[in-house]
Amino acid sequence: MKKLISKKKPFFPISNILKKYLIDFNRWMEIPISYEDLLRFQGSIVVYDENDNDTLWTRVYYSDSELKEIDYNLKKLYTILHSDGNESTISYLNIDAIDYCTFGNSKPFRVKVRNIFNDNFTYFYIKKTDSSRVFGLEFEHMLSPYNLNFLVNESTLIEEHIAGIPGDVFIKDMLPKCSESEQAQIAKEYVKFNERCMVRLLGDMRAYNYVIVPIHDFDQVVYKIRAIDFDQQSYEGKFSVYRPQFFKENQPLIKMVQKKLTHDSIDQYKIEERSIVAKRIISNEDKIDQLLISMKESPITINKNLNKLKLEIYKFTNDKAFKNSKSMGDIMEASLSFLKRNYKNIKPISFLRK
C-alpha cells in the first residue's frame, strides 16, 4: 500500500475574513498565554505509560521566575474555555502537568488541570494557530454528532480534551476481546465514521487520530468513533486521504467490516450517515455558508493539491462543480451541495471490493 501522506502540512495563517467569522461566533479570544510562551521551558523528562512504554510526550519544566505567571495564566485560560473567564474558581484549580509532544505536525502542549477539592481532572491543548485546523474544528462541530469547544487568536489555538480510547490502542488491546455483537456494532460505526470523514473532507484519520468511546446503554456497551485531530482539513490532493479505510493502520477494522456486514447493511449505514449529515447542513445552513465564504478566501492548500483533488472527486461524482472549483472552499461547498442532492445514491461498496 502506498504511503498516502508523504510530507508535513505547512501552517496557514488566519485570514481577515476568517477572523471576522470567528469573532462573530465567539471563537476569537485574547488569550492570556501563547504557544510561544510555553516553548520557553528549561528542561523536560520522558512520559511513560503504565507499561513503561514511551508515550512520545515529554513533561516540561519552567524556571521559578516564569512558573508563577505561567501557572496563573493557564488557570485563567481554563476558566475562559469552560466558564467564560469567571475567576472565582481559580483558587480551586491546580496545574498538575504540562506536557509537550514533538510527534506529528502540530507539536501541541497538553495541560492537566485538577480540582484540588475532589481530585477530578481534565486536559486541554495549546497549539500553534493554523486556519485549516480551525476549519476542521468548525466543520466537525456542525456536521458530526459532537460539539467542540475551542478558542483561537493569531498565534495560539486552544482545544478542549476529547475523551476516549486512542484508536491504535483499542485496535491492538481491546478489539480482539470484543464479543461478536460488539464487533458488528463497531463495524457499523466505522462505516459511518468513514463516510462522514469523506463527505466533509477530513483527512489523515489514521488510528491514532481518532478515539473509540465506549458508552454503557442498558445491558450493553455501544461504541462511538470520534476524530481528535483536524490538521488535515481539505489540504491533501489524494481523495483516498479523506477515506479512513485506505490507511494501513485501520485494516483490522476494515477486515472486521468485511466479515461482519453485508453489502446491503453497508449501503444502509452509508445512507443513514449521509442523511443525518445532510440534515445538519440544513440546520446550520447560514453559519456554514459564512464559513464557506471565508474558506474560499483563505489559502489552506497548494495549487497542486487543489487541482488533483478536484479532478479525483469529479471522476468519482461526475459533478462539474468539483471540476470548476478554484479553491478548497469551492470543493467543500460542492461536496456539501452534492450530499444534500444525492445522499440516497451510493457508490460501489469499496469496503468489500478492492
User: Nearest to residue 300, comparing CAs of 323, 332, 325, 327?
Assistant: 327
**pLDDT number for residue 352:** 57
Distance CA 98, CA 111 (A): 5
Q: How far is CA 247 from CA 2, 4, 27, 208, 242, in A?
A: 9, 8, 32, 11, 10
19-30: per-residue pLDDT in tens?
A: 999 999 999 998
**pLDDT number for residue 103:** 80
pTM of the model: 0.93
**pLDDT number for residue 3:** 66
Position 218 confidence tier, pLDDT thresholds 50, 70, 90: confident
- Of the candidate ranges 35-49, 273-287, 339-353, the one whose mean pLDDT is the lowest: 339-353
**pLDDT number for residue 295:** 98
Region 283-310 average pLDDT: 96
69-85: per-residue pLDDT in tens?
A: 999 999 999 999 998 77
Region 257-263 average pLDDT: 95
Q: Would you say residue 156 has pLDDT above 80?
A: yes
**pLDDT number for residue 342:** 84
**pLDDT number for residue 349:** 60
Q: Would you say residue 354 has pLDDT above 50?
A: no
- Give the residue, 342 or 288, on which the prediction is more confident: 288
Mean of the per-residue pLDDT values of the chain:
93
Q: Are 5 and 235 in contact (CB under 8 A)?
A: no
Q: Would you say residue 269 has pLDDT above 70?
A: yes
Distance CA 324, CA 307 (A): 10
**pLDDT number for residue 7:** 72
User: Nearest to residue 63, comparing CAs of 83, 41, 47, 81?
Assistant: 41
- Supply the Cα-derived Rg of the chain in whole angstroms: 21
